[in-house]
Every structure is written in structure tokens, then in C-alpha cells.
């Protein structure tokens, strides 16, 4: 291994951790803007997305350069492949945080009195926790913490399912508030997708550390059951 090669590997490591911090900060700001009804902060979240997008491209370019110039093998190859995937998931979390901020602005600017029909605060708290733990797992290469993130995803799925059912009923009862209800449901959907991306990051950390591909297994290590037919 040449000194230049190690220098490039270290550069990629620093860049992906920096992007992780940027995305986590953006998500936190989006949550704060939503819970505090802060339009100015929501606007800052939207503007910050361009920086995340640009940094994601730079990381991808560095990874491709490593693959082309040094043809890494074994653990280094796994690391670079995992970083490429995590890089994409982080960028998508940033996009989804922006979507939440935009949905919140829609509600704020509409100025109606429609209340959130489900426990949005619980979804926000749990989803942010998943992203934080996925980030920590990446920083510390902690497969145990990564597994905790995988197991937490089902709870977010359940909360989103409940949000959909409750919101659907509220729209039937109060059709005049349909626009705000749809905005709130959009926030729930974006949080559910953020949780999915946090799970992807956790699974890539596990792959990065020990080469084990776990994305098609449940929390107990068993293969995922096929979906039940509705027919």
C-alpha cells in the first residue's frame, strides 16, 4: 500500500463523516422548523440542500478515482463500495429532510387550524434517533449499533401505517382540511423513507466491517419472509 493510496483512503473517510454530520444537522433543523413552526429555519434547510448535493458528487468522484487508480481488494474494496452506497443514502436523507421542511411551510403558510391527526412528534424523535445511531455506527464501525438501527425500522413502518389510517379517516370527516392533512401525511411518508435509508446505512456498515450482506434478512438473521398475497 503506497502512502498516496492511504492518503486518498483517509480523505474519503473524512469526507463521508463530514457529509454524515451535514445531513444529520439538516435533519435536526428540519425537525426543529416543523415542531416550532419556524418558516425562516425551514427555508434555510431548503437552501442547504445544494451543498449536500455537491458534496455527495465530490465523494463519489473520489471513490471512483480510488477504484480506477489503485484497484483495491478485500476490506478496502468493501469499504469503498459501502461508502458509495452510504453516500447516496445520505444525500437522499438530505432531500427528504428538505421535503419535510417544504411540507411544513405549506401548512404554516396556509394558516389553517388543522391539527396533526397522528403522533408526528414520536415519528420525528424515533427517526432522528435512527439516523443518529446509524451515523454513530458508521463513525465507530459498530455492527451492534447498526443492528439496533435495523431492528428499529419496523416501528417507524408501523407508525406510518397508523398515520395513514388515521389521516384517511380525518379526511373523510373533515374534507375541508384535506390539503393540510395531505401535507402532514407527506411528512410521515418522508420520515418512513428516511428510516429506510438509515437502515440501508446500518446494513452497509455491517458489510463494511465483516463482509456480511444482511439486507435480505430479518433482525434474527433469518431470510425475510415473502410478502403475503392480498388475492
What pLDDT, on the 0 to 100 scale, is given for residue 3? Answer: 87
Residue 91 domain-assigned?
Answer: yes
CATH number, position 174 = 1.20.58.220
- Domain membership of residue 61 as a residue range: 3-210
Instruction: Tell me whether residue 221 is in a domain.
Output: no
Are 190 and 123 a contacting pair, CB within 8 Å? Answer: no
Confidence bin at 57 (pLDDT 50/70/90): very high
The domain tally of the chain equals 1
216 within a domain of the structure (yes/no): no
Residue 155 belongs to a domain: yes
pLDDT bucket at 227, cuts 50 / 70 / 90 = very low
Q: With a cut of 80, say whether residue 95 has pLDDT above it.
A: yes
Q: What predicted TM-score, i.e. pTM, was given to this entire model?
A: 0.88
Of 217, 215, 220, nearest to 201 by C-alpha is 215
* 82 contacts 205 by C-beta, under 8 angstroms: yes
Torsion of CA 25, 129, 55, 105, to 10 degrees: -60
In-domain check, residue 86: yes
In sequence order, what are the residues at sequence separation of 6 or more whose Cβ sits closer than 8 angstroms to the Cβ of residue 204?
82, 85, 86, 89
Q: Would the pLDDT of 230 be above 50?
A: no
- Quick one: pLDDT band at residue 221, thresholds 50, 70, 90? low
Which of 28-42, 101-115, 121-135, 185-199 is least confident?
A: 101-115
Question: 174 lies in a domain?
Answer: yes
Please indicate, yes or no, if residue 226 is contained in any of the structural domains.
no
Say if 215 falls within a structural domain.
Answer: no
Amino acid at each position: 500500500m503506497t502512502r498516496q493510496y492511504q492518503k486518498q483512503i483517509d480523505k474519503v473517510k473524512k469526507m463521508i463523516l463530514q457529509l454524515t454530520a451535514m445531513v444529520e444537522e439538516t435533519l435536526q433543523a428540519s425537525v426543529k422548523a416543523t415542531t416550532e413552526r419556524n418558516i425562516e429555519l425551514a427555508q434555510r434547510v431548503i437552501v442547504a440542500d445544494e451543498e449536500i448535493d455537491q458534496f455527495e458528487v465530490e465523494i463519489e468522484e473520489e471513490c471512483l478515482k480510488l477504484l480506477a487508480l489503485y484497484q483495491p481488494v478485500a476490506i478496502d474494496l468493501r469499504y469503498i463500495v459501502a461508502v458509495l452506497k452510504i453516500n447516496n443514502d445520505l444525500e437522499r436523507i438530505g432531500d427528504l429532510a428538505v421535503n419535510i421542511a417544504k411540507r411544513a411551510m405549506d401548512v404554516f403558510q396556509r394558516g389553517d387550524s388543522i391539527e396533526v391527526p397522528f403522533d408526528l412528534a414520536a415519528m420525528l424523535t424515533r427517526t432522528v434517533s435512527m439516523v443518529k445511531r446509524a451515523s454513530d455506527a458508521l463513525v465507530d464501525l459498530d455492527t451492534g449499533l447498526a443492528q439496533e438501527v435495523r431492528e428499529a425500522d419496523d416501528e417507524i413502518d408501523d407508525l406510518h401505517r397508523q398515520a395513514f389510517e388515521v389521516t384517511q379517516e380525518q379526511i373523510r370527516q373533515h374534507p375541508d382540511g384535506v390539503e393540510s392533512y395531505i401535507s402532514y401525511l407527506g411528512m410521515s411518508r418522508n420520515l418512513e423513507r428516511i428510516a429506510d435509508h438509515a437502515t440501508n446505512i446500518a446494513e452497509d456498515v455491517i458489510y463494511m466491517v465483516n463482509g456480511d450482506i444482511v439486507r435480505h434478512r430479518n433482525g434474527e438473521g433469518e431470510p425475510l419472509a415473502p410478502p403475503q398475497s392480498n388475492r
